[in-house]
């Protein structure tokens, strides 16, 4: 897709360059570079996300940001879920001296519902 955009842009710029509009080509090249940088930045963060799962007696939280995976495991019986219902900030999961914040990709008004679901899942046997 990006290659076809480059071909079209450079084709139009070449046409106008041949007609004598010499400044079209540098701006077309600048456009191609800017769009390329935007695609690269988007591609780097396209797979960002959070995965929260219960695996036996462990709560596993995986945070992926720009291709970097951060994994935290907690004993399910010791996990604290904060903030309390009604607060729109990120949700902090903590236990055994470690903590991790989740809920970045959830709308702020839905974070209390996520915190409640995590609490219910932790209590279920």
* Cα–Cα distance for residue pair 81/122, rounded to 1 Å: 10
Rounded to whole angstroms, the Cα distance separating 66 from 41 reads 9
* CA separation, residue 55 to residues 12, 68, 74, 123 (Å): 57, 22, 10, 14
Over the stretch 65-97, which tens digit does the pLDDT of each residue have? 988 999 999 999 999 998 866 677 899 999 989
SS3 34: helix
pTM of the model: 0.70
Residues 20-71 have pLDDT tens digits of 999 999 999 999 999 999 999 998 888 899 999 999 999 999 999 988 999 9
Strands 58-65 and 49-55: antiparallel
What is the structure's pLDDT at 47? 87
């Amino acid at each position: 897709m990006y290659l076809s955009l480059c071909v079209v842009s450079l084709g139009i710029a070449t046409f106008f360059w041949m007609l004598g509009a010499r400044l079209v080509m540098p701006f077309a090249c600048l456009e191609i570079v800017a769009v390329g940088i935007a695609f690269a930045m988007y591609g780097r963060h396209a797979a960002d996300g959070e995965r929260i799962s219960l695996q036996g007696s462990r709560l596993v939280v995986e945070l992926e940001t720009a291709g970097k995976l951060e994994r935290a495991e907690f004993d399910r019986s010791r996990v604290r879920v904060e903030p309390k219902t009604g607060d729109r900030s990120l949700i902090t999961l903590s236990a055994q001296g470690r903590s991790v914040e989740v809920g970045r990709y959830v709308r702020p008004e839905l974070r209390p519902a996520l915190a409640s679901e995590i609490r219910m899942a932790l209590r279920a046997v």
